[in-house]
């Protein structure tokens, strides 16, 4: 078989494998974990997450994948994809990657062991198993987390954490509104927001003239962090703002809609 035919065969096999993964294992969530400890650093509070590998037998096998929900990345609940990868090729035993693509936030598929490529479920951007960008509209690497693994029983990774009970909450006037993703968005967007004390909260979508065109949330809310997905498919292409009002404070984030 010619080299070209061989490449095509392997490529098609790769596509088939991706199809099987997406059908039989549609980004299955295996667990939720809380940070083991919180550490202050100049940028804020780092959450240190610790996995006991024997609790995740899939990670004992090369290319094994688990998806885990962690309570906050700068306030928003999110999922990370942990993959066992060959150290000889990539210099580390595991990769820990944010589940959402850097293009428009769609979830990534598990790594394809045959092609050693991660593909985005949205528009097909591709990345290597450590999240390094290869091709497609994403144009940048996936978001990854610092990992510590000494070959033992535990794997540790870290990311920035917003805990309403920490000093960071004081510095942020007891509430926060994260960036929105994807941004620009097409048919949906996700806002991470939260407050440290239960109280009334308004989150509104505003147009360029300052008119509220939709209430995303209005009413009493328990303290904590939230991840809110809302539909933008009916909005015209253009610029909008998300305004969060809590007590006497307001925060505003720009949102671009592009269909």
**Footprint of ligand FES on this chain (CB under 6 A)?**
101, 103-104, 106, 120, 122-125, 136-138
Select 69 or 186, whichever has its Cβ closest to ligand FES.
186
Closest contact distance (angstroms) between CB of 64 and ligand FES is: 23
User: b vs e for 113-147, b when ≥16 Cβ sit within 10 Å of the residue's Cβ?
Assistant: bebebbbbbbeebbbbbbbebeebebeeebbbbee
Cβ-based nearer residue to ligand FES, 119 or 163: 119
Q: Which residues of 153-177 are buried (b: 16+ CB within 10 A; e: fewer)?
A: eebbbbbbbbbbebebbeebebbbb
Distance CA 91, CA 195 (A): 40
Closer residue to ligand FES (CB): 44 or 105: 105
Query: In 3-state terms, what secondary structure has residue 101?
Result: coil
Whose Cβ is closer to ligand FES: residue 76's or residue 201's? 76
Q: Which is nearer to ligand FES, 109 or 193 (CB)?
A: 109
In the complex, minimum distance from the CB of residue 224 to ligand FES, in angstroms, rounded to a whole number: 28
CB of 101 to ligand FES, least distance (A): 3
Tell me how crowded residue 97 is: count the other CB atoms within 10 A of its CB.
23
Taking the least distance from each CB to ligand FES, the nearer of 15 and 212 is: 15
Question: 37-41 and 188-195: which strand pairing?
Answer: unpaired
CB of 139 to ligand FES, least distance (A): 9
E-strand stretches of the chain:
29-32, 37-41, 44-52, 65-73, 76-84, 94-98, 118-119, 126-127, 133-135, 146-148, 154-161, 175-181, 188-195, 199-206, 212-221, 224-231, 238-246, 249-257
Instruction: Return the number of the residue (70 or 118) whose C-beta is nearest ligand FES.
Output: 118
For residue 239, the minimal CB distance to ligand FES (Å) is 20
Written as one string, the DSSP assignment of 170-230 is HHTTTEEEEEEESSSBSSEEEEEEEESS-EEEEEEEE-TTS-EEEEEEEEEE-SEEEEEEE
Q: How far is the CB of 188 from ligand FES (least distance, A)?
A: 12
Considering the complex, what minimum distance in angstroms separates the CB of residue 140 from ligand FES? 11
């Amino acid at each position: 078989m010619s080299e070209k035919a061989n490449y095509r065969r392997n490529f098609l096999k790769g596509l088939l494998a991706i199809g099987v993964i997406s059908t039989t294992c549609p980004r299955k969530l295996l667990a939720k974990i809380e940070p083991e400890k919180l550490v202050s650093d100049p940028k804020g509070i780092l959450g240190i997450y610790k996995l006991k590998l024997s609790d995740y037998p899939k990670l004992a096998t090369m290319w094994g994948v688990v998806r885990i929900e962690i309570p906050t990345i700068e306030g928003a609940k999110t999922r990370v994809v942990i993959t066992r990868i060959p150290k000889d090729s990539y210099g580390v035993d595991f990769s820990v990657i944010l589940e959402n693509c850097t293009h428009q936030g769609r979830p990534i598929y598990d790594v394809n062991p045959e092609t050693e490529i991660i593909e985005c479920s949205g528009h097909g951007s591709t990345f290597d198993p450590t999240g390094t960008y290869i091709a497609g509209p994403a144009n940048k690497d996936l978001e990854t987390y610092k990992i510590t693994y000494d070959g033992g029983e535990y794997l540790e990774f870290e990311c920035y954490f917003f805990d309403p009970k920490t000093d960071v909450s004081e510095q942020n006037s007891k509430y926060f509104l994260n960036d929105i993703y994807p941004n620009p968005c097409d048919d949906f967007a996700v806002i991470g927001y939260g407050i440290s004390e239960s109280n009334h909260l308004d989150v509104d979508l505003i147009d360029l003239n300052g008119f509220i065109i939709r209430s995303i949330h209005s009413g009493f809310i328990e303290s904590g962090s939230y991840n809110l997905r809302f539909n933008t498919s009916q909005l015209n292409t253009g610029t909008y703002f998300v305004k969060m009002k809590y007590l006497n404070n307001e925060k505003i984030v720009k949102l671009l809609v592009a269909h």
